[in-house]
Chain A
Amino acid sequence: MKTSAGERAFGWLNALLMIGLCFITLYPFLYVLFASFSDATSFLQSSGLLFRPAGFDLGAYRAVFHNPMIMKGYGNTLIYVTLGTAINLVMTAIGAYVTSRSQLYFNKILMFLIVVTMVFQGGLIPSYLLVNELGMMNSMWALLVPVAINTFNLIIMRTAFQSVPVSLEESARLDGAGDWTILFRIVLPLSMPVVAVMILWYAVGHWNSYFAALVYLRDSEKYPLQLVLRDILIANNTDTMMAGSASDDKYAIGETIKYATIIVSTLPIICLYPFLQKYFVKGVLVGAVKG
């Protein structure tokens, strides 16, 4: 096929543009990575873009790993992610299973009442008062239970469950299987691609969330990692971190610690990302079919 000179020029320009996009996307992370490995004093003296660490020092990482707040936050986040995702998955699966049974008399009413909550919610303040009323204030359950089901995910899972052949379910029922067995032994395993997407979405959501913790938690002992990060990055509260380090260039290390904290908190996602990417993308498309 012939290509005109103009089209060839466009091809090059386009490639250049895409490389530019990749640079803009990746460079902030690279800068943070380089800065986190930098020697604090040389980093402060350096200026402009970094293309390698300014000096080399692991002091920032040492401070991060010795910091009780960050480590505690990390541990809390791991608990919240695991427990929260488990709750999400079980509840969403049950909801999707029940609403996918079209033979139920109340199916349509139930589905209608569920879909209504997608377009109208009580909002922040009534939810806050409810959590308070239920005695969940300042407890980790406030971060997990009120978000037990994401209705959008429920609908995606319901669509997947509906495509499981009815004959499989009927033969299982003849063998004496109840609804729980059918859900967890037949329907769920047959919908594994969607389940994988759900796990990833819910888990990433819990890992990244900070707002519920900001609203509901009082004790910093219970803070998830993102809230600790907020204190360090946004409120610029690196003083507490300095408690452990005896060095006299405390101010200087305070700068590089921020970068090390970002890396340590984002690393799990960046490392898993390339492997999980295809699932994420598949999930968007599953959602798009219905959405």
Chain B
Amino acid sequence: MPKSAGHPAAWRTIRTDLRRHWSIYMMAMPVIAYYAIFQYGPMYGLQIAFKDFQPTKGIGGSPWVGFEHFNHFFNGIYFWRLIKNTLLINAYDLLFGFPAPIVLALLLNEIRGRLFKRFVQTVSYLPHFISIVVVAGMMADFLSRAGLVNQILSSFGMTPVDFLKEAGWFRFLFVSSGIWQSVGWGSIIYLAAITTIDSTLYEAARIDGAGRWKQTLHVTLPGIMPTIAILFILQMGHMMTVGSEKVLLLYNPLTYSTADVISTYVYRKGVLEASYSFTAAVGLFNSVVSLILIVAANSLSRRLGDNKLW
């Protein structure tokens, strides 16, 4: 790190460094260019959140309008709905989606047959690799009015429900399909943590007369607690983020009241309706809140031990 750029000694160090390593710096050019253009370029473009962007005048030339777009967003009719939907989907996911892979890992750990365990693992990882379009497509098909789920329901004499057109079902379907797709994959990291637990701890517990349930409760669970804590904190950092990709495939105007989240709103208003400045402001607001959450989460995990996230 340069101590002060104006210092002559520092300049000499830099010159020697550049001369000695010029070939590697040349090599780095495409990577530096990539980060400068495609990562920092959009950050530069974020200034349109404070401007009235006009394509003919460009990003730099458009007139400033201060916080107008932010005020417009905060006072708009959709603000609280978007915040609520984003937070609630994440809250349900934290409540059900977070513990699911932990429970699965603990149950898999209790399986004695190696081959059977391996089979269950292989099967449970599979949905992770299926594209979100296929997953949403299967949901749309199975959950339609004439689809598989309604065929089964009506064979029990229940009335068909058009699941994806009812706002009340959206969060449940979104979160549960997410669990279906990721529970196996999520369990890998906990299974790995379980294998690092000192086996003498189990022996000691057995000598003290602990059965399998007691061993799980007093050895395995404490053993993977650091991993659980880190992943929990990491997930807290993403409380204000719901990706648009899956929601876009599953929602429709009938379910906007529960399904529309910040990212999908930005997509609709920005890409489809071309209000660039307004949606850049919405996106910036979301990024800043997320940044604060992530930094807070990281400093929290630092304080809990040396388990920093980066």
Residues on A lying within 8 angstroms of B by beta carbon are: 1, 3-4, 6-7, 10-11, 14-15, 17-18, 21-22, 24-26, 28, 31-32, 47-49, 91, 94-95, 97-98, 101, 103-106, 108-110, 113-115, 117-130, 134, 145-146, 148-149, 178-180, 183, 204, 207-211, 214-215, 226-227, 229-230, 232-234, 236, 258, 262, 265-266, 269-270, 273-274, 277, 280-281, 284-285, 288, 291
Indicate if the CB atoms of B287 and A123 lie closer than 8 Å: yes
Task: Flag whether B161 is at the interface (Cβ < 8 A).
Answer: no
Residue numbers in B under 8 Å from A128 (CB-CB): 270-271, 276
Contact present for B111 and A125 (CB under 8 Å): no
Q: Are A130 and B140 in contact (CB under 8 A)?
A: no
- Given A11-B112, A122-B41, A179-B23, the answer on whether A262 and B138 have CB atoms closer than 8 Å is yes
Query: Which residues of the partner chain A approach B263 to less than 8 Å between Cβ atoms?
Result: 124
Question: A104-B21, A233-B140, A266-B134 in contact; A125/B280 too (CB < 8 A)?
Answer: yes
Q: Nearest chain B CB to A95's CB is how many angstroms away? A: 4
Most chain B CB neighbours (cut-off 10 Å) among A95, A126, A134 = A126
Contact A266 B130 (CB under 8 A): yes
Q: Are B110 and A126 in contact (CB under 8 A)?
A: no
The 3 closest A-B pairs by CB, nearest first: A122-B42, A233-B137, A126-B45
Alpha-carbon distance A115/B245, docked complex (angstroms): 24
Q: Report chain A residues within 8 Å CB of B213.
A: 7, 10
Closest to B181 in A: A25
Please, could you name 27 A-B residue pairs with CB atoms under 8 Å apart, sorted by A? A14-B107, A22-B123, A25-B123, A47-B155, A101-B24, A104-B24, A117-B35, A119-B294, A122-B42, A122-B46, A123-B46, A124-B279, A125-B48, A125-B280, A126-B43, A126-B44, A126-B45, A126-B280, A129-B276, A130-B38, A226-B133, A236-B140, A258-B141, A262-B138, A277-B122, A284-B188, A285-B192
A-B contact count, CB below 8 Å?
251
Q: How far is the CA of A258 from the CA of B30 in the complex (A)?
A: 42
CB-based contact B34/A105 at 8 Å: no
Asked whether A124 lies within 8 Å of B111 as measured between CB atoms, the reply is: no
- What residues on B are CB-neighbors of A17 within 8 Å? 107
Identify B120's interface contact among A22, A124, A145, A258, CB under 8 A: A22
Known: A204-B129, A233-B137. A110 touches B310 (CB 8 A): no
CB < 8 Å neighbour of B295 from A26, A119, A234: A119
Asked if B124 is an interface residue, CB under 8 A from chain A, the answer is yes
Within residues 122 to 173 of chain B, which ones have a CB less than 8 A from any CB in chain A?
122-127, 129-134, 136-138, 140-142, 148, 151-152, 155
Q: How far is the CA of A122 from the CA of B136 in the complex (A)?
A: 28
Q: Is the CB of B287 within 8 A of A280?
A: no
- Asked if B222 lies at the interface with its beta carbon under 8 angstroms from chain A, I say no
Binding site for A on B (CB under 8 A): 1-2, 13-14, 17-18, 21, 23-25, 27-28, 30-32, 34-35, 37-46, 48, 53, 59, 104, 107-108, 110-112, 116, 119-120, 122-127, 129-134, 136-138, 140-142, 148, 151-152, 155, 180, 184-185, 188-189, 192, 206, 211-213, 244-245, 248-249, 263, 266-267, 270-271, 276, 279-280, 283-284, 286-287, 291, 294-295, 309-310
Q: Report which residue of B13, B35, B270, B294 has the largest number of chain A beta carbons within 10 angstroms of its beta carbon.
A: B35
A134 to B33 alpha-carbon distance, docked (Å): 14
Give Cα A177–Cα B133 distance, bound, in whole angstroms: 47
The docked-state distance in angstroms from the alpha carbon of A273 to that of B218 is 36
Contact for A146 among B38, B123, B211, CB less than 8 A:
B38
| B contact residues around A7 at 8 Å (CB) | 211-213
Give the distance in Å from the alpha carbon of A274 to the alpha carbon of B188 in the complex.
Answer: 16
Task: Pick the residue among A49, A120, A125, A288 that contacts B291 (CB under 8 A).
Answer: A120
User: Contact between B134 and A120 (Cβ–Cβ < 8 Å)?
Assistant: no
Q: Is the CB of A105 within 8 A of B14?
A: yes
Tell whether A121 pairs with B31 under 8 Å between CB atoms, given A129-B59, A210-B133.
no
A47 to B30, CA, bound (A): 57
